[in-house]
């Protein structure tokens, strides 16, 4: 494990593996660098690149200076980029892809290529928007010490899972891991709320990004993911959209790796 100090003094923990061009991996909601699928993806990519897999602030071995702001998460990515030489490629998934877009909007000169897997923008009526008080609900649950409730709010309101699915999930060992980082759900909600409100993507959103970008959707994912990917691609200066055969939001490392290798090496 390595550590870098972000602009506000927060310690950001990361693992580095492989050789070649640097690729920084940005996890989505509840994701940590120790998640088995994330570890597997890092190992596959490390056969081709120098891979930086880090714990976003508030997760794993990273610090969590308050108050939270999206800008501080962007500064975390910038600190990692500066640590590895000043430029990097970035791969973000789900709400981590939205964070990657926000980072590229501020750091386009440092992020040369940007790959995004299913940023969960809700831009129309194809699914219910994120509730306006979603972040407040998460924070209230955390403040009352009810981390289970915070994860339940995410599962039922952000992922739209039926309530009856929760009990079997809570019986699994992984649920404890989710509760440990439940407070960071408010962070992802803050990152995402503007573009998960069921309104069209503003025509000037992210248009200053100069990074060469690939926006990816899974073939079997819900329509709103495809709509979001197409809208993002249309806004960016230099972006392409592709569909990954046979995949859904929980994309397999084995399926996404060849796409990322081809894009980043192209």
What pLDDT sits at residue 206? Answer: 97
Q: All domains of the chain, ordered by start, with CATH?
A: 2-122+199-265 (3.40.50.1820), 134-192 (no CATH)
Residue 141 CB neighbour total at 10 angstroms: 22
Secondary structure of residue 2 in the 3-state scheme? strand
DSSP state of 248: -
- The span from the CA of 170 to the CA of 121, in Å, is 27
Q: At what angle do helices 185-192 and 70-83 cross, to 10 degrees?
A: 100
Q: What is the pLDDT of residues 215-237, one digit of tens each?
A: 999 999 999 999 999 999 999 99
Cα 138 to chain centroid, rounded = 18
Question: Scanning the structure block, which residue is given the tokens 């248009």?
Answer: 207
Q: What is the pLDDT of residues 1-55, one digit of tens each?
A: 999 999 999 999 999 999 999 999 999 999 999 999 999 999 999 999 999 999 9
Q: What is the pLDDT of residues 57-111, one digit of tens each?
A: 999 999 999 999 999 999 999 999 999 999 999 999 999 999 999 999 999 899 9
Beta-carbon contacts of residue 157 (< 8 Å; ≥ 6 apart):
130, 131, 134, 137
- The span from the CA of 266 to the CA of 251, in Å, is 22
């Amino acid at each position: 494990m390595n550590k870098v100090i972000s602009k506000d003094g927060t310690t950001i923990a990361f693992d580095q593996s492989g050789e070649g061009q640097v690729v920084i991996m940005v996890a989505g909601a509840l994701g940590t660098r120790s998640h088995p699928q994330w570890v597997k993806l890092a190992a596959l990519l490390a056969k081709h690149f120098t891979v930086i897999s880090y714990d976003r602030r508030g997760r794993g071995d990273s610090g969590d200076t308050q108050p939270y702001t999206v800008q501080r998460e962007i500064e975390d990515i910038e600190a990692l980029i500066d640590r590895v030489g000043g430029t990097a490629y970035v791969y973000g998934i789900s709400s981590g892809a939205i964070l990657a877009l926000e980072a590229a909007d501020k750091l386009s000169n440092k992020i040369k290529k940007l790959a995004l897997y299913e940023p969960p923008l809700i831009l129309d009526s194809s699914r219910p928007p994120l509730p306006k008080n979603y972040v407040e609900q998460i924070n209230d649950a955390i403040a009352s010490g009810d981390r289970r409730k915070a994860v339940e709010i995410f599962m039922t309101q952000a992922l739209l899972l039926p309530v009856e699915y929760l009990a079997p999930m809570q019986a699994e060992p992984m649920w404890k891991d989710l509760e440990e980082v439940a407070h960071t759900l408010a962070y992802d909600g803050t990152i995402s709320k503007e573009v998960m409100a069921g309104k069209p993507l503003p025509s000037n959103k992210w248009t200053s990004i100069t990074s060469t970008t690939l926006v990816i959707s899974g073939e079997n994912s819900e329509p709103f993911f495809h709509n979001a990917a197409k809208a993002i691609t249309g806004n960016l200066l230099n972006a392409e959209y592709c569909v990954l055969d046979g995949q859904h939001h929980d994309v397999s490392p084995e399926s996404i790796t060849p796409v990322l290798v081809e894009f980043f090496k192209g």
